[in-house]
Amino acid sequence: MLEAAGIGAGEERVYRFLVGVRETDAALIADRLSMEVAQVQRELASLHDKGLVGPVAGSAAGGAVRYVPVAPDTALRPLLLRGHEALESARRGVEQLTEEYRAGGRRHDAGQLVEVISGASVIRQRLRHMAYGARELRWFCKAGHVAMPADDNDEEWELLARGVRYEAVYERALLEEPGMVDNVARSIRAGERARATGTLPVRLAIADGAMAICPLMPGGPGDSLGEPTAAVVRGSSLLDALIALFESQWAAASPLHVTDSGELADLGGPRSGANVADDERYLLSLVVAGVADKAIASQLGVSQRTVQRRIQVLMQRAGAATRTQMVWQAARQGWLS
């Protein structure tokens, strides 16, 4: 029973007996458990080293050393914690060895780079397994579903709470489906980074930049094509292309956020430029025209650092990582009109 805490069978017998009698010596334990005294002394010494028993102060002066057990919750908790850490370390080691094994196989067999799986339940199971082993997940979420309806993605809340990074691009038609707005708002509040776009080219899930799952045929109930199929893509130029596709769609999509009233904002496609002040619009026009920061500062009568700070604010509002992305978002959202 206590093997998970690193306690052997003989040690457990001795410790359990001590817990029952509270205080005794090796000779009495040996007599009651039908063990050799020398063996009991070895078990007691091992239990003492592990912090499960201790000698009674002054007991040796009158003869045999008497022992008392340490409270189980106090003694065993650290051992169980160390055991858990050891198991977790072993799990990570197995995963690393497995990936090295697969990588070696892929180098010798190109057929292992892409695995085709069939059936909604099989695809769903593979998606779950991939999610639980990931530190970062990126998704293309198209309208309709192949194997995983949005309201069935219950593991996302647990993984977000663990600190797994989620990035999702939603097709606007999907956001119009019943319940999706509330679902996405809940995800964003839990830590998901979300964006919306008009249409997505494919459904896609990428884990840690090391694996992707991409449905190939829709399939599903009522579909004449039969069961859905998907490709599991591992480290290769094809995976690099899928990652690049995600990054380009992410850069072009509109950021989604939850307002103070709890509503999901930025669902309406390109926005009017009414929420951009005139001076910000003028600044944007100069950036679009390719005017250098120093020249913009001269035009506006401010420092170059102020110009850079204002541009950074506009980039954050647009959800852009670069000025090129900001200009793209400004054009899409009507900030210059």
Higher pLDDT, residue 127 or 318: 127
Residue 242 has what pLDDT? 92
Residue 221 has what pLDDT? 45
Distance CA 48, CA 36 (A): 18
Give the side-chain half-sphere CA count within 13 A for 286. Answer: 20
Residue 208 has what pLDDT? 92
Q: What is each CA distance from 335 to 198, 233, 268, 319, 324, in whole angstroms?
A: 18, 39, 15, 14, 15
The reported pTM is 0.51
Average pLDDT along the chain: 79
Contact present, 262 and 185 (Cβ < 8 Å): yes
Distance CA 223, CA 181 (A): 27
Cα angle at 228 between 117 and 111, to 5 degrees? 25
- Per-residue pLDDT, averaged over 157-171, amounts to 90
| Distance of alpha carbon 89 from the chain centroid | 18
Q: What confidence tier does 335 reach under pLDDT thresholds 50, 70, 90?
A: confident
Residue 146 has what pLDDT? 66
> Is the pLDDT score of 124 beyond 70?
yes
Q: What is each CA distance from 265 to 201, 251, 261, 268, 271, in whole angstroms?
A: 24, 18, 10, 8, 11
- Per-residue pLDDT, averaged over 220-233, amounts to 70
Contact present, 122 and 231 (Cβ < 8 Å): no
Residue 206 has what pLDDT? 95
Residue 168 has what pLDDT? 93
Distance CA 54, CA 71 (A): 11
Instruction: Please state the length of the chain.
Output: 337
Q: What is each CA distance from 322 to 306, 318, 336, in whole angstroms?
A: 18, 10, 18
Distance CA 270, CA 284 (A): 17
Where is average pLDDT lowest: 38-47, 86-95, 320-329?
A: 86-95
> Is the pLDDT score of 268 beyond 50?
no
Where is average pLDDT lowest: 12-16, 30-34, 96-100?
A: 96-100
E strand segments, 17-121: 24-25, 53-55, 66-69, 114-118
Higher pLDDT, residue 225 or 75: 75
Contact present, 296 and 286 (Cβ < 8 Å): yes
Distance CA 284, CA 145 (A): 39
Residue 84 has what pLDDT? 63
Distance CA 36, CA 93 (A): 40
Q: What is each CA distance from 4 to 13, 40, 50, 52, 72, in whole angstroms?
A: 15, 21, 14, 15, 14
Q: What confidence tier does 140 reach under pLDDT thresholds 50, 70, 90?
A: very high
> Is the pLDDT score of 220 beyond 50?
no
Instruction: Print burial letters for 280-319: b (CB count within 10 Å at least 16), e (below 16).
Output: beebbebbeeebebeebbeeeeeeeeebeebbeebbebbb
Sign of CA dihedral 28, 31, 36, 40: negative
Higher pLDDT, residue 218 or 24: 24
> Is the pLDDT score of 296 beyond 90?
no
Residue 270 has what pLDDT? 42
Distance CA 202, CA 48 (A): 62
Q: What confidence tier does 109 reach under pLDDT thresholds 50, 70, 90?
A: low
In the three-class reduction of DSSP (H, G, I as helix; E, B as strand; rest coil), residue 54 is classed as: strand
Domains of the chain: 1-104 (1.10.10.10), 113-265 (3.30.870.10), 273-332 (1.10.10.10)
Cα dihedral: 218, 224, 229, 230 (round 10)? -20
Residue 284 has what pLDDT? 84
In the three-class reduction of DSSP (H, G, I as helix; E, B as strand; rest coil), residue 30 is classed as: helix
Higher pLDDT, residue 141 or 273: 141
Q: Are strands 264-265 and 257-258 parallel, antiparallel or unpaired?
A: antiparallel
Q: Tokens 């080293």 map to which residue?
A: 49
